[in-house]
Amino acid sequence: MIRLAGFGWRYAGRRAWAVRDVDLRIERGERVLLLGLSGAGKSTLLAALAGLLTEDSGERAGELSVDGRAGILFQDPQTQLVMARCGDDVAFGPENLGVPAEQIWPRVSESVGSVGFGYPLDRSTHALSGGEQQRLALAGVLATRPSVLLLDEPTANLDPDGATLIRSAIARLDTTLVLVEHRVAEALPLVNRVVVLTPEGVVADGAPSSVFERYGDELAEGGVWVPGHPVLPRRAASPPGVPLLAARAAAVAGRLPPTDLDVCAGEALAVCGPNGAGKSTLARLLGGLTRPTSGRVTATRPLAGDDAELPPHRWRAAALATRVGSVFQNPEHQFVTARVADELALGPRRAGATPAAVRSTVDDLLVRLRLDRLAAANPYTLSGGEQRRLSVATALATAPRLLVLDEPTFGQDRRTWTELVDLLAKLRDDGCGVVTVTHDTDFVEALADRTVGLRQ
């Protein structure tokens, strides 16, 4: 069904190949888990199998053939939602494939039901949370009845119950499957084969048990998530410090019910809860990026300085950037330049740092977040994991006293995940407040000093 021989791809304007020398054959009905470090080329390979790498966007080597129609779910669901209403979006694929009109809406209903999407079909796609958008996007893929299903982190933005439902839906499908998933233990029941990819090609291929038995220690040391290799917790070196921020009955109409929350220096706070509970909205409130429609958010003098009488959403942009660093759920929403290095330099430069200080900050963050080889790359050509690390780095660039991060570990391999947790633990122990919206239970267990749960 799928055959690659010496396949490689290099994006336009990039010196290094995203992936090369891939030799791989996948038979009809096989279910393959594709593993590898962040930046190994997994998403690029899925895009190639879906026929999305065009001649004018890069250079191709070798051969690739797919026997059948492929359906792909991207890391960022917003990139494949094209209609204003949910039902219309799921119907878009079948309509363009020429499915008879009387069959389209039964397909839509079946697909949204299989992924547990419980909203009316006339609901606006823009009113959905990231996890809800991911479920809707998967329903849109399933409605086309693909013979090859390509899934790039299908449960990354979902709460545990939603992730379980999606995996159950995938398990029932009778299609060839190629799955990229960092939650390896949960994904193993869905597959019968594991392929480990590097930028230089396939390094391991076989039944899951044999691959992990033979290569497990080596893969874990190299940064691949391998079952049976737990991560150690990073406990705080001291109790929480002074209060920095407080929300009192803070609400955003239609998105976040009245919420009380305190944020302290030197504390890692995890915000958890089901998709649609308002976690991302709360993150924007705490970050000063959204005005509450009722209630209030106040900051203390240690964070706000002379602006302590003003709510964070009324601070000047330059002042806000040096006090609160925000990391959005979709990293590309905060990129505004054409080079990784320029993205990191933007915040310090606007905050008035000297050219020498800007260069020092940029060089340090490039190394700490493993982005040094990508300094000249366009942020939009990075992998999902690399984009996430860049968004974290931009938030750190102005040395804020408070960090508010929305799903910061999305798309990270074991190595970069561990380095990110270590970095945040050090910032917390140095007195920075860290607020994280996350569905990553490993992250919560490793770092969180306190957990707050929102209800839908």
**pLDDT reported for residue 13:** 83
Could you give the percent of the chain with pLDDT greater than 90?
68
pLDDT of 411 over the 80 cut:
no
Instruction: Please determine, for residue 211, whether its predicted confidence score (pLDDT) is greater than 80.
Output: yes
| CA 230 – CA 217 distance, rounded (Å) | 12
Across the chain, what does the average pLDDT equal?
A: 92
pLDDT of residue 401: 95
Q: Which segments of the chain belong to CATH 3.40.50.300? A: 2-222, 243-453
What sign for the dihedral angle of Cα 426, 245, 322, 284?
A: positive
| Rounded Cα distance, 414 and 409, in Å | 10
Does position 424 have pLDDT exceeding 90, yes or no?
A: yes
CB 266 within 8 A of CB 428: yes
pLDDT, tens only, 317-334: 989 989 999 999 888 888
* Sign of the dihedral defined by the CA atoms of residues 288, 448, 187, 279, in that order: negative
- What number is the average pLDDT over the span 305-323? 93
Give the least confident one: 14-23, 113-122, 152-161.
152-161
| Residue whose tokens read 């920095």 | 244
Give residue 371's pLDDT band: very low, low, confident or very high (50, 70, 90).
Answer: very high
Given its phi and psi angles, is residue 332 left (phi above 0), alpha (psi -120 to 50 degrees) or beta? Answer: alpha
Q: What is the pLDDT at residue 397? A: 94
pTM metric for this prediction? 0.79
Please report, for residues 288, 296, 299, the alpha-carbon distance to residue 201 in angstroms, rounded to integers and kept in the order given. Answer: 45, 53, 51
- Are 2 and 50 a contacting pair, CB within 8 Å? no
The one-character DSSP state at 156 is: T
Predicted pLDDT at 351? 86
User: Does the pLDDT value for residue 65 go beyond 90?
Assistant: yes
The pLDDT of 388-415, averaged and rounded, is 91
Residue 212 burial (10 A CB sphere; 0-12, 13-18, 19+): buried
Question: By C-alpha distance, which of 118, 148, 59 is closest to 274?
Answer: 118
Judged by DSSP in three states, 88 sits in helix
The greatest distance separating any two alpha carbons of the chain, rounded to the nearest whole angstrom, comes to 66
Q: Tokens 């929305």 appear where?
A: 406
% of the chain residues with pLDDT over 70: 100
Measured in degrees and rounded to the nearest 5, phi and psi for residue 283 equal -60, -40
Q: What's the one-letter identity of residue 369?
A: L
Residue 355, both tokens: 């050219």
Q: How would DSSP label each residue in 243-311?
A: EEEEEEEEEETTTEEEEEEEEETT-EEEEE--TTSSHHHHHHHHTTSS--SEEEEEE-HHHHGGGTTS-
Residue pLDDT, tens place only, 72-109 = 998 778 888 999 999 999 999 999 999 999 999 999 99
Predicted pLDDT of residue 286: 96
In degrees and rounded to multiples of 5, residue 232 shows phi and psi of: -85, 145
Q: In terms of DSSP bridges, do strands 256-264 and 243-252 run parallel, antiparallel, or are they unpaired?
A: antiparallel
> Is residue 37 scored above 90 in pLDDT?
no
pLDDT higher than 90, residue 292: yes
pLDDT in tens, 221-252: 888 888 888 888 999 989 999 999 999 999 99
pLDDT mean over 131-159:
90
Stretch 395-423: mean pLDDT: 90
The CA-based angle 383-384-390, given to 5 degrees, is 90
Q: Say what the pLDDT of residue 129 is.
A: 81
Using an 8 Å Cβ cutoff, are 194 and 226 in contact? no
- The CATH superfamily assigned to 243-453 is P-loop containing nucleotide triphosphate hydrolases (3.40.50.300)
Rounded average pLDDT over 347-375: 93
* Chain centroid to CA 194: 22
pLDDT (0 to 100) of residue 184: 85
Q: How far apart are CA 152 and CA 381, in angstroms?
A: 16
Mean pLDDT to the nearest integer, 269-280: 92
pLDDT at site 19: 93
Task: List C-alpha distances in Å: 99 to 106, 135, 351.
Answer: 11, 22, 55
Does domain 2-222 fall under CATH 3.40.50.300? My reply is yes
Query: Can you tell me the distance from the alpha carbon of 340 to that of 318, in angstroms, rounded to the nearest whole number?
Result: 21
Measured CA distances, 305 to 185, 354, 398 (Å): 47, 22, 16
Question: DSSP 3-state helix, strand, coil percentages of the chain (rounded to 5)?
Answer: 40, 25, 35
Q: How far apart are CA 121 and CA 112, in angstroms?
A: 9
